[in-house]
């Protein structure tokens, strides 16, 4: 089954749409799917032109395609557990919250909190991701726990904060404090970043660009080679964060 949701013109296009109901399993069940435009509850066909192609017998066989003015749509894919969502442009905050399986493809940029506290599945963002990609929400002690997030562009501050499992791959640069409070999992940064992995206790972070303002509470443990984009790269190896009695591993490209 392929469900195409194209946004309709709206008088106030900047009003955000809360759309946690847009997940493949809901379309399989043919629920009365509703979203919120600001504080107003709307039926799906009040916001979107809806086209459905073909049948499905399981949520794994459902693909949702979002197109049009999608940058203000929030929480798409929240608690998703099967199937596929393709977003043809940008997407709003909290895309893929708590998802446990399936795949989300974003052709544009993603707003903050992409893949928040994700459990499994795959998110691929072909543009940039804003702050807190793969992080835990404020007050939570665990962020992403499984699955994979890949961002082909850059990511903002606090990427993979409280990362506890799974893998976050940022092919470009990150902002401040990526991997802060890491507990486990893997964070890969293809470009530059600032103050990586402060207070980490476990997990692995690899920075293939420049790690600016590297914290002094990491212990140099020699050097190793790691592969990135098909090339072997010589990396400095650090253990820490010793300020938190951490046993994480931070690889930083040798200059």
- DSSP letter, residue 69: S
Confidence of residue 147 (pLDDT cuts 50, 70, 90): very high
> Is residue 30 pLDDT above 80, yes or no?
no
Cβ(196)–Cβ(214) under 8 Å? Answer: yes
What's the pLDDT at 95?
A: 98
Cα angle: 233, vertex 124, 165; to 5 degrees: 70
- pLDDT per residue as tens digits for the range 47-59: 999 999 999 999 9
* Summary count for the chain: helices (H), strands (E): 2, 19
- pLDDT per residue as tens digits for the range 67-77: 999 999 999 99
Q: Where does the chain have alpha helices with state H? A: 24-28, 44-47
Of 26-35, 90-99, 198-207, 219-228, the poorest mean pLDDT is in: 26-35
**Domain ranges in the chain?**
1-108, 122-255
Query: What percent of the chain stands above pLDDT 70?
Result: 100
- The tokens describing 3, both together, are 């469900």
> Is residue 184 pLDDT above 80, yes or no?
yes
Which residues, 6 or more positions from 12, have their beta carbon under 8 angstroms from its beta carbon? none
Cβ(64)–Cβ(19) under 8 Å? Answer: no
Decide: helix, strand or coil at residue 123. Answer: strand
Question: What is the mean pLDDT of the segment spanning 188-195?
Answer: 98
Question: What is the mean pLDDT of the segment spanning 152-175?
Answer: 98
What's the pLDDT at 32?
A: 87
Query: What percent of the chain stands above pLDDT 90?
Result: 96
Of 137-141, 213-217, 237-241, the poorest mean pLDDT is in: 137-141
> Is residue 255 pLDDT above 90, yes or no?
no
What's the pLDDT at 120?
A: 98
């Amino acid at each position: 089954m392929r469900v195409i949701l194209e946004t309709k013109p709206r008088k106030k296009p900047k009003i955000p749409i809360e759309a946690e109901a847009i997940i493949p399993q809901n379309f399989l069940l043919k629920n009365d799917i509703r979203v919120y435009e600001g504080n107003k509850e709307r039926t799906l066909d009040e916001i979107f032109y809806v086209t459905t192609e073909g049948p499905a017998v399981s949520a794994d066989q459902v693909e949702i395609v979002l197109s049009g003015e999608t940058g203000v749509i929030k929480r798409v894919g929240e608690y998703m557990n099967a199937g596929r969502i393709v977003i043809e442009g940008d997407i709003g905050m909290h895309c893929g919250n708590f998802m446990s399986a399936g795949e989300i493809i974003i052709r544009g940029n993603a707003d903050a909190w992409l893949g928040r506290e994700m459990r499994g599945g795959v998110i691929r963002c072909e543009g940039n991701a804003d702050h807190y990609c793969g992080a835990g929400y404020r007050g939570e002690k665990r962020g992403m726990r499984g699955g994979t997030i890949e961002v082909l562009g850059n990511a903002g501050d606090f990427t993979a904060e409280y990362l506890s499992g799974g893998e976050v791959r940022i092919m470009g640069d990150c902002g401040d404090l990526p991997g802060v409070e890491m507990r486990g999992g893997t964070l890969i940064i293809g470009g530059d970043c600032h103050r990586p992995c402060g207070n980490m206790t476990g997990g692995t972070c690899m920075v293939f660009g420049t790690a600016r303002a590297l914290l002094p509470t990491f212990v140099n443990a020699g050097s190793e080679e790691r592969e990135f984009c098909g090339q072997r790269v010589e990396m400095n190896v650090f253990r820490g964060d010793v300020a938190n009695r951490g046993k994480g591993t931070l690889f930083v490209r040798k200059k």
